[in-house]
Amino acid sequence: MANIPIWPGSSSFFPGNTPFGFYDNDVQFQTDADKFSVFASRRLGYPIVEIELQDLNFYAAIEQAVTVYGNEVYAYQIKENFLALEGANTSSFDTIDVNDQNVTPNLSRIIALSQEYGAEAGTGGNVTWHTGSIALTASVQDYNLDTWASQSGITASGDLEIKRVFYESTPAIVKFFDPYVGSGEGVMNLMDNFGWGNYSPAINFVLMPINYDMQIIQQIELNDMVRRSNYSFEVQNNNLRIFPIPTSDSVQYVNSLYIQYALKSERYAAQFQDATGKITNVGNVPYQNPNYTRINSVGRSWIFEYALALCKEMLGYIRGKYDTIPIPGAEVQLNEADLIASANSEKDKLIENLRTYLDATSRDKLLERQSLEGDYKQKELSKVPFPIYIG
């Protein structure tokens, strides 16, 4: 077996010495890579004991530690800001380093969700409401809308969804009677000035209070409801029943009933939109590896500790290749199990501490802390004596 050199006590970093080269061109990383190698080797027992690692192992450990730190930080940022980032065009990030950008929360996704509610209410959204008409037949009260849909070319079974049936009776304003018509007590052509000339037979009238008009309209509607058969409908399982039952006289004047409907297939199709070049999930949010130079001392301290745990783990696996080493008259027991157990424990603890720290700086936690701070200030100020002013 070849005599593989181990850690000599110092190193000299060059770009290309790390497995991925994420930070090789960062001058600060180049300096810290060599410093970390010395730091880690001494923490592992050098020069009291030999360290079965090379400089490349130390460099790989610190590169991995920086990447893990960046992944944790930016995964937290994605979680905080994904509602504002989802759907954004990734091309807009080509000229912007999102790592160093503050993401301002916005209502884009909430508005998109609200539009879907609007589609159901008929006030917007991305689902088209179609219009159709049903031919009425004298003495026929029930109409199967699925049969009508099939006859109208809507072939998908159960695809029809009724949104509105135009069953309303004649608007009350058409029946509105102005008691002052022709009396000369009103204002000429005032209805035309308001754009209402087509809705009333009045040519001149006294402008009464609006509550008077509302009461007259309500009286007309209540009269039609109580004294006459009111127009209405029921829709159950796409079976339309209309009231009153059409007669030959009524069909003569109103021979079709108009409806608005949506197609379920179009609603389902509308939920899928082409998102080429857009942020669709946490995996394509364009965060990059961190800029090592911009990581503060708190972050670098975490990186050094995590990289040390990685080195301890590597050293444990290396020493675990040989459980014991024979020497004259005895055997040397290696400590690979202790190294690996300690390394795993330290890595888990460091990750947990970092996530706890990030959670403590979340938007909701900071707002909660600010609110508590305001309450404490109010309590403190309430103990300040109020001066008595005598004028």
Q: d(Cα 320, Cα 330) in Å, to the nearest integer?
A: 19
On whether both 90 and 54 belong to a single domain, the answer is yes
Among 251-265, 326-340, 350-364, top mean pLDDT goes to 350-364
134 and 215: one domain? Answer: yes
3-class DSSP assignment, residue 227: helix
Q: What is the pLDDT of residues 70-116, one digit of tens each?
A: 999 999 988 888 877 877 777 766 656 777 777 777 777 777 777 77
Look-up of token digits 């040397």:
332
Q: Spell out where 237-287 has E strands.
A: 239-243, 256-263
Judge if 140 and 252 occupy the same domain. Answer: yes
Is residue 208 in a domain? yes
**Distance in angstroms (rounded) separating the CA atoms of residues 145 and 232:** 17
CA distance 112 to 345: 45
Distance CA(265)–CA(224), nearest Å, equals: 40
Residues 6+ apart with CB under 8 A from 172: 217, 218, 220, 221, 224
Is 249 in the same domain as 312? no
Q: What is the pTM of this model?
A: 0.65
The C-alpha atoms of residue 298 and residue 317 are separated, in whole angstroms, by 29
* Mean pLDDT, residues 282-311 taken together: 92
Check residue 311 and give its pLDDT.
Answer: 96
Same domain assignment for residues 305 and 197: no
Taking the C-alpha atoms of residue 64 and residue 56, their distance in angstroms, rounded to an integer, is: 12
Query: Residue 51: inside a domain, yes or no?
Result: yes
Averaged pLDDT for residues 341-363: 92
Comparing CA positions, the residue from 353, 383, 134 lying closest to residue 256 is 134
In a shared domain, residues 240 and 327: no
* Residue at 3 is within a domain: no
312 & 365 share domain: yes
Here the tokens at position 166 are 């135009």
Q: Where is the domain boundary, 270, 299, 328?
A: 270
Q: Give the pLDDT band (50/70/90) at residue 348.
A: very high
Among candidate residues 270, 304, 333, the one where a domain is terminated: 270
pLDDT at 301: 96
Q: Which of 27, 33, 28 is nearest to 13 (CA)?
A: 33
pLDDT digits (tens, 9 = 90+) for 5-26: 888 999 999 999 999 999 999 9
Q: How far is CA 276 from CA 91, 107, 266, 279, 286, in A?
A: 10, 22, 21, 9, 14
Do 90 and 195 share a structural domain?
no
Q: Within this chain, do residues 176 and 54 fall inside the same structural domain, yes or no? A: no
Among residues of the chain, what percentage have pLDDT more than 70? 81
Q: How far apart are CA 180 and CA 182, in angstroms?
A: 6
What's the pLDDT at 300?
Answer: 96
The pLDDT of 56-77, averaged and rounded, is 95
Which DSSP letter does residue 167 get?
-
Tracing tokens 């970390």 back to the chain, one arrives at 36
Sign of the dihedral through C-alpha 267, 272, 275, 280: positive
**Residue 230, domain extent:** 123-270
**Per the domain annotation, does 236 fall within a domain?**
yes
User: Which residues partner with 134 through β-bridges?
Assistant: 257
Give the count of domains, the chain. 2
Count of beta carbons in the 10 Å neighbourhood of residue 126: 15
Angle at 380 between CA 378 and CA 386, to 5 degrees: 90
Strand partners, 132: 259
With a cut of 80, say whether residue 189 has pLDDT above it.
no
Question: Is residue 22 domain-resident?
Answer: no
Q: What angle do CA 333, 335, 339 make, to 5 degrees?
A: 175
DSSP state of 124: S
Residue bearing the bigger pLDDT, 163 or 14: 14
pLDDT of amino acid 203 = 47
Q: Which residues face 325 on adjacent strands?
A: 332
pLDDT bracket for residue 206 (50, 70, 90)? low
- Using alpha carbons, list the distances in angstroms from residue 19 to 203, 207, 317, 344: 91, 87, 19, 22
Confirm whether 100 is domain-assigned: yes
